[in-house]
Structure 1
Amino acid sequence: MCHNFGSSVIGFCSIVMFAFLGSTAIFACFTGAALLAKRREYLFLGGILSSVISMMLMMQFGSMFVGRGAFMFNVELYLGLAVFVGYVLFDTQMIIERASLGDYDYIKHTLDLFMDFVAIFVRILVIMTKNANERERKDRERRRRRD
């Protein structure tokens, strides 16, 4: 029993580490893309991302009345990941634009990017945990059928 508990803790720690590294890689790549892009190239994303967030909110309200299945959960999870990756692009370019206009509030800018990073990290962590649980369930079923 302890061995089983220890392996699950190690498994969870590796999932957290891989989720953190994956979030860092995604964040670095999309921040780099925003930094290397032409000025104001991704600022159009603000309206689109806000609309998608509003649509996801309406889906949340609708699911209170209709019910929420696994499909809706997956849509919200993956769509939320895509939205916050887009927000990394948008927020980075907004910070550049604000700085060019004289707004050097680095604490607010850091918090904007930190919130994007945390949102990406949480979604990747949920995806990886869900996939690990499904893989473990399939392995148990395979062993049960074999025995």
Structure 2
Amino acid sequence: MDVFNRNIDFNALFKFSHISASTQQHLKKVYASFALCMFVAGAGALRHVCVQQLNLLSGLGSLGLLIWLTATPHSRETEQKRLGMLAGFAFLTGANLSPLLEMCIAINPSIIPTAFLGTAVIFSCFSLSALYARRRSFLYLGGVLLSGLLLMLLFSVVNIFVGSTWLFTANLYLGLMVMCGFVLFDTQLIIEKAESGDKDYIW
């Protein structure tokens, strides 16, 4: 058998027959709002790099918008307003990150595009894994992931007094594994909430 002459259906990669059509539409909206936030946050960071402002104001503004967003109930009437709040929160969050981005640029400008591409690849791979996996198969990770977050917090506090490079590196890679696990967990949680009737793609 010549494996190179077989017909391959690449459209099968994007078929999620185990997910209902309404949930697939919901997922499209979720990822669209995620992409919007990413680009708006990038614009906020770029503007703050070009026009220096007080980080305290942008920090308080992002916190205020987050509280306002959580306090506003989801409905068809409030959908556009809540989407605007989310975009504003993303913009101010990007502005808050600009000092860190400036530091990265000063050290090595290639850090930012490398981090962006690496994050995009990891997020895409783990999201697809969660979408193709059997429903609810990764929801059990919730407790393990929260335990991992607590362990990271403990390592960080201990390392303030110890100052160990090894502990810092271990915490860094533990954080990478925990965040990858959260992509799996949150993607399946979004699916289950949508299947249960919760179509709020903004929060």
Corresponding position: 1:44 with 2:143: no
Equivalence map 1:13-92=2 (5 Å):
13-65=109-161, 67-92=162-187
Q: Percentage identity across aligned positions? A: 47
**Larger RCO (CA under 8 A, 6+ residues apart):** 1
1:125 aligns with none
Query: 2:105 & 2:145 partners in 1: Cα distance?
Result: 36
Letter in 2 for 1:97: E
Match of 2:198 in 1: 103
C-alpha spacing 1:107/1:70, structure 2 compared with 1 (3 Å): same
Distance 1:64 1:44, change over 3 A: same
**Matching residue's letter, 1:99:** A
1:88-134 CA distance string (max 9 Å, x none): 000000000000001111011xxxxxxxxxxxxxxxxxxxxxxxxxx
Please tell me whether the aligned partners of residues 136 and 192 of structure 2 are also in contact (alpha carbons under 8 angstroms). Answer: yes
Q: TM-score, normalised by structure 1?
A: 0.62
Q: Gaps spanning 5+ residues in structure 1: where?
A: 1-7, 109-147
Cα distance between partner residues in 2 of 1:78 and 1:40:
26
Q: Is the 8 A contact 2:156 2:168 kept in 1?
A: no
**Whole-Å separation in 1 of the counterparts to 2:196 and 2:181:** 23
> Displacement, 1:54?
1.0
Given that 2:159 and 2:168 are in contact with CA atoms closer than 8 Å, whether structure 1 keeps it comes out as no
Q: Specify which structure has the higher proportion of helix.
A: 1
Comparing 10-19 with 31-40, which one deviates more in the overlay?
10-19
2: CA distance, partners of 1:55 / 1:11: 30
**Corresponding residue for residue 121 of structure 1:** none
Gap runs ≥5 in structure 2 = 1-103
Taking only aligned residues, the RMSD between alpha carbons, in angstroms, comes to 2.0
Q: How many residues align?
A: 100
- Measure, in 1, the Cα distance between the counterparts of 2:128 and 2:167: 32
**1:119 equivalent in structure 2:** none
